[in-house]
């Protein structure tokens, strides 16, 4: 990391407050520093959550209990989910937003620079609470990342720590979102109309609205859980007039928009990368904006498709099924637009492009299994099986994570002034691509055949799929150490990046700023033709 | 997983083959050995689900191959290394309208047959037999409440030994999918299943029936199935319900109407026999502890462990416990009513007076606990409210 800083230290106005070392990072209000903090934090959480995934896969390698006891297994599935969603994927894209949005719209920094610092520095505390919960009596909660009532009432103090962690994460996300919305709406350079913004800014603008609307709902759900646990309320307890299904409605009213909170910024990254390596403008820019907005709006009226088996009336099931299938229309528009962007371009296949194509193919596959799951009768059969696990890892890992990798390889030269090792990058892509599919494709089969999710042990008939999946998972996990090596190698000894590392890249950060970008950029707004 | 009177040879369905072709991940040699599609359907709803699944899989496979056929053609033909020059078009309203409208039409084509199945699935009217299923941590209770067999009531617990789970004994054929008391239903009769739960949310699922319904504590939900094949069908709880969630199997045996009548009369006899147990004035301590050890193994061992040491603090030790060594009435009350907010369930609903008396006597005299006291079924009966 220090290599990044050294590049800038000489030709800049110096760092605010004159702090160096650790204090510089704690006090920084610079959007690039904060973006870097977000990205490193998310990578650390990605490793922590990844180790948990490997504990899960190690236990599931063979039938029977070998590695962990069932209670700890449940803690692993819970924390793997929470840490990956809230600690790894979401902060990664907030990191991209911090780095890129000011530069892409020609602004000097984020609108609320100090709040930006606070948004980030809440995260390590939230992450610590999650990890500390393993060391309190009773351990971390073993309730699944969805934290369904009333199982939550049976948990130890680790549940309370998790609830507070969710509160902190929510505050961080809401502040980050207010910052992004304000920055985009008020700080665009003269001439940068909304419909001229790079699509990445658009997807983040819409995502930020989703966050502001959805995170308080989650905070409400976990607060009600907290008062049910300690203050005698019975929101989710039938004995006191409550209803456990109420929790699920509230949770998924947050939870489904959350899916798009994760997916939309990934769409944004891919919409920058594909045109750059196709040397051709993004096809259907306007329809991309409309499709993104349509997905965001629809995401608020489909939540109960996660709950087809709770016993809804038939009209409820039909409404949520029809609304859910409708999402396929704007999502389809996006996929067609991406393919049309590549069509008759002049394609090259550097690592960012490989990850973007990997995203496109596998995310679409995950979208299709989503369509299968949206249909009530099929979902009733597959709900809470490994088919669902396979489905959401296709959209979360092959979707969001692949896009994040594409983004890192794409912008790293611009941010640091150094190239990564292209050969190693391609090796990283192919290892990730192959092991991802080895891990998760077979889970479709074990799910169809009837293997429930969140179980530490299973009947012998599922053994072969689980063995394959576990081998894939370890391969996938180890491949990510290569990614760390590639990034560190680029920072330490990477070749100097050319002024325009990718000939097809055309947004402001590429065309109007030197490589590497200076610590302070666009102190005077750029002149746009 | 499913044994039927006429065992079918596992044959991958069309959709599964398509999926394999589409992604190149299929290994044909393994198809026969591995379960990779939905279990064979034995109810009309399950047949519908299979049909819909194949239909949708074929549709999405065609779409997938179509869209990515274009993309991979582009990857092949429009690459810079082949000297392809980029064109600069970036919109085409006609094309964009077409690829918005066509998916919408495809969705309507899918929605029609699916809607019919949803409506059929929800129609629980006019059942022949109604059975209430109650989820407990971590076992199932069955109460036959209407139709032939009315009044039958039993608890169904896993019979897979801990030795098999912990690798000290070879695993049996039905590892994790075997129970002491199977749910028995007649073939060809509409069975309405009411689900509820005593503690947390569970979910009752038999894959071959295409029947899955969450069991909500404090609420009753319903669903139905009509089995069309004789045999034993196996499933498990599919909603995370705590520590032993993975060890909560469901087994349903589908029998002929005649066999069902025989089964019903056997169960009725058993019921009247156990009803008389608590009438016995006094049972010897040996008999109580012997039976108590069995009850303990079936109901308590998952949390409190064979050693009586528990897994503190969530699952406290019984060896040396203040409650077990304290006044016996306190322990009886705790056993009958459970402890709210913990996994300690109200065993008064699940176990008979004799079983409770046995297991309490056992815990008061096992491990380091040497009270020498016995608890009689009549003591338990006196404290039932």
Q: What is the pLDDT of residues A76-121, one digit of tens each?
A: 999 999 999 999 999 999 999 999 999 999 999 999 999 999 999 9
Residue among B1, B88, B241 minimizing CB distance to A461: B1
Q: How many CB pairs under 8 A join A and B?
A: 307
CA distance A408 to chain B (A): 22
Determine whether the interchain pair B218/A244 forms a contact, defined as Cβ–Cβ distance below 8 Å: yes
Task: Give A 375-434 residues with CB within 8 A of chain B.
Answer: 375-378, 380-381, 383-385
pLDDT at A6: 41
Catalytic residue among A167, A256, A383, A418: A256
> Given its phi and psi angles, is residue B367 left (phi above 0), alpha (psi -120 to 50 degrees) or beta?
left
CB A369 within 8 A of CB A387: yes
pLDDT tens digits along A422-438: 999 999 999 999 999 99
Structure-token pair, residue A257? 């928009």
- Report the pLDDT averaged over residues B360-367: 89
Confidence of residue B9 (pLDDT cuts 50, 70, 90): very low
Catalytic residue among A59, A160, A228, A258: A258
Distance CA A97, CA A38 (A): 10
Determine whether the interchain pair B90/A243 forms a contact, defined as Cβ–Cβ distance below 8 Å: no
Judged against a pLDDT cut of 60, whether residue B14 lies above it is answered with: no
pLDDT at A19: 74
Contacts of A474 (CB under 8 A, 6+ apart): A54, A57
pLDDT tens digits along A236-280: 999 999 999 999 999 999 999 999 999 999 999 999 999 999 999
Q: How many CB atoms lie within 10 A of CB A115?
A: 16
Model ipTM value: 0.91
Distance CA A397, CA A134 (A): 25
- From A163-167, B140-144, B379-383, the region with the lowest mean pLDDT: B379-383
Q: Nearest CA to A299 among A253, A364, A368?
A: A253
CB A184 within 8 A of CB A176: no
pLDDT tens digits along A257-269: 999 999 999 999 9
Which chain A residues are closer than 8 Å to B80 by Cβ? 279, 346-348
Catalytic residue among A32, A334, A418, A428: A334
DSSP 3-state assignment of A147? coil
CB A235 within 8 A of CB A227: yes
Chain A's closest residue to B110, CA to CA, is: A375
Start-to-end CA distance of chain B, whole Å, equals 42
Buried b (16+ CB within 10 A) or exposed e, B154-183: bbbbbebeeebbeeeeebeebbbbbbebbb
Residue among A278, A318, A446 minimizing CB distance to B118: A318
Pair type for strands B139-146 and B153-156: antiparallel
Please work out, in degrees rounded to the nearest 5, the angle formed at the alpha carbon of residue A343 by the alpha carbons of A340 and A348.
120
pTM of the shown model: 0.89
Question: Cis ω on the peptide bond leading into residue B313 (within 30° of 0)?
Answer: yes
Q: What is the DSSP string of A347-399?
A: B---HHHHHHHHHHHHHHHHHHHHHHHHSHHHHHHHTTBHHHHHHHHHHIIII
Which chain B residues are closer than 8 Å to A455 by Cβ? 236, 245-246
A372 touches chain B (CB under 8 A): yes
Concerning whether A80 is annotated as a catalytic residue, the answer is yes
- Calculate the dihedral angle through the C-alpha atoms of B291, B295, B296, B301, rounding to the nearest 10 degrees: 140
Beta bridge partners of B340: none
pLDDT tens digits along B204-255: 999 999 999 999 999 999 999 999 999 999 999 999 999 999 999 999 999 9
CA distance B244 to chain A (A): 7
- Which residue pairs, CB below 8 angstroms and at least 24 apart, start in A285-290? A285/A195, A285/A199, A285/B90, A285/B91, A286/A195, A286/B91, A287/A333, A287/A337, A287/B91, A287/B96, A287/B100, A288/A199, A288/A202, A288/A333, A288/A334, A288/A337, A289/A195, A289/A199, A289/A202, A290/A330
Distance CA B245, CA A69 (A): 12
At A361, give phi and psi (nearest 5°).
-70, -50
Structure-token pair, residue A436? 């991802």
Catalytic residue among A31, A80, A391, A414: A80
Query: Average per-residue pLDDT in chain A?
Result: 94
Query: Average per-residue pLDDT in chain B?
Result: 86
Judged against a pLDDT cut of 50, whether residue B11 lies above it is answered with: no
DSSP code for B194? E
Chain A's closest residue to B345, CA to CA, is: A154
Task: Give A 225-264 residues with CB within 8 A of chain B.
Answer: 229, 237-239, 243-245
When scoring B109, B118, B194 by the number of chain A Cβ atoms within 10 A, the one with the most, hence best to mutate, is B118
pLDDT tens digits along A29-73: 999 999 999 999 999 999 999 999 999 999 999 999 999 999 999
């Amino acid at each position: 990391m220090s290599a990044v800083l050294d590049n800038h230290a000489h030709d800049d106005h110096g760092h605010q407050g004159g702090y160096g070392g650790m204090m510089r990072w704690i006090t920084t209000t610079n959007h690039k520093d904060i973006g870097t903090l977000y990205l490193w934090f998310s990578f650390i959480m990605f490793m922590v959550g990844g180790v948990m995934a490997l504990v899960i896969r190690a236990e599931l390698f063979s039938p029977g209990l070998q590695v962990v006891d069932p209670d700890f297994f449940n803690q692993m599935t819970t924390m793997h989910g929470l840490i990956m969603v809230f600690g790894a994927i979401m902060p990664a894209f907030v990191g991209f937003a911090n780095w890129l949005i000011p530069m892409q719209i020609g602004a000097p920094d984020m609108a609320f620079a100090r709040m930006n610092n606070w948004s980030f520095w809440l995260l390590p505390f939230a992450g610590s609470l999650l990890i500390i919960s393993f060391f309190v009596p009773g351990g971390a909660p073993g309730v699944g990342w969805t934290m369904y009532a009333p199982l939550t009432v049976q948990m130890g103090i680790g549940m309370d720590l998790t609830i507070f962690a969710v509160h902190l994460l929510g505050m961080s996300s809401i502040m980050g979102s207010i910052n992004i919305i304000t920055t985009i709406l008020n700080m665009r350079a003269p001439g940068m109309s909304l419909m001229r913004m790079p699509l990445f800014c658009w997807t983040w603008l819409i995502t930020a609205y989703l966050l502001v609307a959805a995170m308080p709902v989650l905070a409400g759900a976990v607060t009600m859980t907290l008062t049910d646990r300690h203050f005698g309320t019975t929101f989710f307890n039938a004995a006191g007039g409550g209803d456990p299904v109420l929790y699920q409605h509230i949770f998924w009213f947050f939870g489904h928009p959350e899916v798009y909170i994760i997916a939309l910024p990934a769409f944004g990254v891919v919409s920058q990368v594909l045109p750059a390596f196709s040397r051709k403008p993004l096809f259907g820019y306007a329809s991309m904006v409309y499709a993104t907005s349509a997905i965001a709006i629809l995401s608020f009226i489909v939540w109960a498709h996660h709950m087809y088996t709770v016993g809804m009336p038939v009209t409820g099931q039909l409404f949520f099924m029809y609304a859910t299938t409708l999402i396929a229309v704007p999502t389809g528009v996006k996929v067609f637009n991406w393919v049309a962007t590549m069509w008759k371009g002049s394609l090259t296949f550097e690592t960012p492009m490989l990850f973007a194509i990997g995203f496109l193919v596998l995310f679409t596959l995950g979208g299709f299994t989503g369509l299968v799951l949206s249909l009530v009768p099929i979902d009733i059969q597959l709900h809470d099986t490994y088919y669902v696990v396979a489905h959401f890892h296709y959209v979360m890992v092959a979707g969001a994570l692949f896009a994040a990798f594409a983004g890192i390889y794409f912008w790293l030269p611009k941010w640091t002034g150094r190239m990564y090792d292209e050969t190693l990058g391609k090796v990283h892509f192919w290892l990730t691509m192959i092991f991802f599919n080895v891990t998760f494709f077979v889970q479709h089969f074990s799910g169809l055949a009837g293997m429930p999710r969140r179980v530490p042990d299973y009947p012998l008939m599922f053994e072969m799929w689980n063995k394959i999946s576990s081998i894939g998972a370890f391969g996938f996990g180890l491949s990510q150490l290569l990614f760390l090596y590639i990034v560190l190698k680029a920072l330490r000894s990477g070749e100097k990046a050319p002024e325009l590392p990718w000939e097809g890249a055309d947004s402001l950060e590429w065309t109007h700023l030197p490589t590497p970008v200076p610590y302070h950029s666009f102190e005077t707004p750029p002149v746009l033709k | 997983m499913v044994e039927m009177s006429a065992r079918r040879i596992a044959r991958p369905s069309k959709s599964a083959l398509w999926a394999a072709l589409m992604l190149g991940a299929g290994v044909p040699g393994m198809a026969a050995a591995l379960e990779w599609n939905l279990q064979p359907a034995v109810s009309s709803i399950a047949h519908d689900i299979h049909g819909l699944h194949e239909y949708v899989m074929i549709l999405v496979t065609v779409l997938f191959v179509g869209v990515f056929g274009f993309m991979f053609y582009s990857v092949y033909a429009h690459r810079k290394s082949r000297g392809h020059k980029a064109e600069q078009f970036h919109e085409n309203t006609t094309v964009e309208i077409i690829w918005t409208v066509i998916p919408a039409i495809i969705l309507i084509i899918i929605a029609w047959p699916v809607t019919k199945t949803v409506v059929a699935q929800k129609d629980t009217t006019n059942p022949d037999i109604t059975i209430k299923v109650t989820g407990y941590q971590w076992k199932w209770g069955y109460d036959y409440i209407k139709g032939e067999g009315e009044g039958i009531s039993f608890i169904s617990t896993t019979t897979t030994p801990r030795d098999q789970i912990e690798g000290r004994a070879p695993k049996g054929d039905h590892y994790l999918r075997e129970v002491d008391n199977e749910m028995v239903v007649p073939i060809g009769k509409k069975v309405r299943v009411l689900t509820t739960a005593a503690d947390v949310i569970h979910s009752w699922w038999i894959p071959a029936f295409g029947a899955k319904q969450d069991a909500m504590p404090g609420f009753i939900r319903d669903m139905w199935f009509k089995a069309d094949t004789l045999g034993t069908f196996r499933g498990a709880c599919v909603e995370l319900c705590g520590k032993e969630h993975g060890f909560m199997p469901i087994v349903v045996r589908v029998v002929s109407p005649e066999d069902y009548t025989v089964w019903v009369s056997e169960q009725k006899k058993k019921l009247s026999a156990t009803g008389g147990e608590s009438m016995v004035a006094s049972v010897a301590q040996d008999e109580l502890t012997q039976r108590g050890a069995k009850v303990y193994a079936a109901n308590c061992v998952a949390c409190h462990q064979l050693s009586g040491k528990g897994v503190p603090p969530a699952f406290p030790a019984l060896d040396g416990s203040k409650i077990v060594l304290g006044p016996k009435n306190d322990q009886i009350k705790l056993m009958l009513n459970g402890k709210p907010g913990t996994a300690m369930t109200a065993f008064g609903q699940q176990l008979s007076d004799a079983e409770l008396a046995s297991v309490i006597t056992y815990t008061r005299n096992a491990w380091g606990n040497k009270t020498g006291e016995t608890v009689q079924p009549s003591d338990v009966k006196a404290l039932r409210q």
